[in-house]
Amino acid sequence: MMEARAVAKWVHRGPRKARKFIELIRGCAIDEAQAILDVQASPAAGEVLKCLNSAVANGENNHDMDREEMIVSRAMVDEGPRMRRMRPRARGRADIYIRPTCHITIVVSDESDDEV
């Protein structure tokens, strides 16, 4: 079983927002997963789609895998570093807010995991 992976690091989306779309495509065929992500309105779905396309390209170009036989075998979203930012408030004060980031990892394989 051949595997190819892609990692999108420091994506400026919260991990909870990206995990919603990862759960939709885990275990799907590539064409089905791309169709699912294309119709989603969220910017996080676009980031997941970019990572999926990169994993598919890695499989085709580096491992000579056939696109028709590829499935999304593993997909996960990890929390990245949180950036602390300041927001000005009244009377010269400031509030701190946190900009979350995430790391998206997608692994595609040319066989299903059910055979193992």
105-114 per-position pLDDT tens digit: 999 999 755 5
Tokens found for residue 12: 């400026």
Domain count, the chain: 1
* Full residue range of the structural domain in which residue 52 is found: 3-115
**Residues 47-70, mean pLDDT to the nearest whole number:** 96
Strand ranges inside the chain, DSSP E = 3-11, 71-79, 83-88, 94-99, 102-109
Q: Specify the CATH number for the domain of residue 58.
A: 3.90.470.10
Burial of 101 per CB tally in 10 Å (0-12, 13-18, 19+): middle
The reported pTM is 0.89
User: Which pLDDT score, from 0 to 100, does residue 1 have?
Assistant: 82
Average pLDDT, the chain: 94
Distance CA 70, CA 27 (A): 10
